[in-house]
Amino acid sequence: MVTKKVSQKPFLKYSRTIGMTTMRGRGFYFPVDSAMSSDGRIFVLSRSSEIASSPDTIRVTVLNEAEEYFGVFGKGGDDPGSFRWPCGIALDNSGNVYVTDEHHHRVSIFRDSGDFISNWGTHGSDEGQLNGPSGIVIDGDDNLLISDAKNHRIQKFSKDGRFIFSFGTFGDKIGEMNLPWGITVGPASEIYVADWGNDRIQKFSKDGEFLCEFGSGDGEFTKPASIVVDSEGYIFVADWGNEAIQILDSNGVFVQKLLGEATDSEWAKEYFDLNRDEGEVRELSDLQPNIEFFNDDPHEKSSHIEKLFWGPSALFLDSKERLFITETNRHRIQIFERNA
């Protein structure tokens, strides 16, 4: 299955942007993933920086779409309940929060209040062991599917860490993987994997049997980081290496490409209300300058033009199937919704 362009009116339209950057507290600092609870709270996982001087820069920030702020939990460190390289976040049917850590090779579990419950996971390559766990999703049976990135496989666990099965091995042939990152479950329980190092999406049955792939051959994706599928089978891919979101239909046919249209979030507006001189001179600036970019490098373009995606590393759909795009390097979430 390959992707190809067809003429079609825009499938999604920009809605709004939420969040802003802060090293601590209300805001995000290199957010790498986010998830929404059934009551509409958004849990945003900030990875922070290795050389950040204090542990509270690594945290989960809780807010809702209206940018009501509910607090933070988690911190940097090595103790249980702490993170070094947090990467993926997911919520189970009870509202408990699961966070993968690529450095500690473990999964930490919290109540949605932020209280730490437990963690599990050991470093290694044997069955049930982890090496750089990245993407995480809860399937229909309330089990966990984890991209065991540096073991180049997907592993399925019960919520308390009991190994169920795994599939995938290192390589670029069908069914093989290279540093898989994002993972999701489709409407028919199929498993979709962002096969990051192979620049493709792979689709498997719920038992891990290879079904098909998207994006290979013509290099349509560059290092895809995340993937979600809506109830109609539309596929949304965080085309991370191209600083874009690509939308495919259930057959893998290209539908739309998004490059980002961020506007000021409510928190950003509050900031400029308090810092009027900065806001006023920003108003007078050309934030979409026409620059000769280095070799058309999409990362460079995103670093210069603020509204564009920069590091779109995670996606989720809410109950209305609106797309929430977490941008690591712009510390915000852009929301897109279906055209009427």
Partner 1 sequence: MSNHEVQLIAHLLRRAGFGATRGELEQYSSLGYNATVEKLLDTSNPQAISEHLLRRYHPDETSMLVGLGGLGAWVYRMTTTDSPLLEKMALFWHGIFATGYAKVINSKPLSDQIRMFKRFAMGDFNTLLLEMAKDPAMLIWLDNQQNHKEAINENFGRELLELFSMGVGNYTEEDVKECARAFTGWTIGNCEYMMVRSGRDSDWPYGRISWHYEFDEQDHDSTEKEFLGRKGNFSGEDIINIICEEDATARFVARHMYHFFVADEPPVPQWPYQEPRDPKAIEQLVQAYFDNNHSIRSMLECLFHSDFFKSENCWYEKVKSPAEFVTGVLRLSETVVDMPQFEIPGKQLRMQRMGQTLSNPPSVEGYDGGTAWINTGALVERMNFASEELGNINTPGSQNLFDSVETDNGVVVSPERLVDICLDHLGSINVQDDTRSKLVDFAAQNGEVHIMDNGLDESSKVNISGILKLIVASPEFQRE
Q: Determine the interface stretch with partner 1 among 71-79, 105-113, 137-145, 267-275 (rule: CB under 8 A).
A: 267-275
187-206: which residues touch partner 1 (CB under 8 A)? 196
Q: Measured between alpha carbons, how far is 251 from 203 in angstroms, rounded to an integer?
A: 11
Q: Pick from 66, 286, 296, 340 the residue near partner 1 by CB under 8 A.
A: 286
Sign (positive or negative) of CA dihedral 129, 131, 137, 139: negative
Give 39 or 292: the residue with its C-beta nearer to partner 1.
Answer: 292
**Is 18 a binder of partner 1 (CB under 8 A)?**
no
CB of 31 to partner 1, least distance (A): 9
H/E element, 274: helix 266-274
Give 28 or 157: the residue with its C-beta nearer to partner 1.
Answer: 28
293-322: which residues touch partner 1 (CB under 8 A)? 294, 299-300, 303-304, 306, 310-311, 313
Q: Measured between alpha carbons, how far is 243 from 328 in angstroms, rounded to an integer?
A: 11
For tokens 């990245």, the residue is: 134
- DSSP assignment of 3-67: --B-----SEEEEEEE--B-SSSSSBSSEEEEEE-TTSEEEEEE---TT-SSGGGSEEEEEETT-
44-63: which residues touch partner 1 (CB under 8 A)? 47-52
Q: Which two tokens stand for residue 177?
A: 């993987």
**Is 330 a binder of partner 1 (CB under 8 A)?**
yes
Q: Measured between alpha carbons, how far is 332 from 241 in angstroms, rounded to an integer?
A: 18
Contact positions toward partner 1, by CB under 8 A? 20-22, 29-30, 32, 47-52, 84-85, 102-103, 150, 179, 181, 196, 222-223, 225, 240-241, 262, 264-265, 267-268, 271-272, 275, 277-278, 281-282, 284-287, 289, 291, 294, 299-300, 303-304, 306, 310-311, 313, 328-332
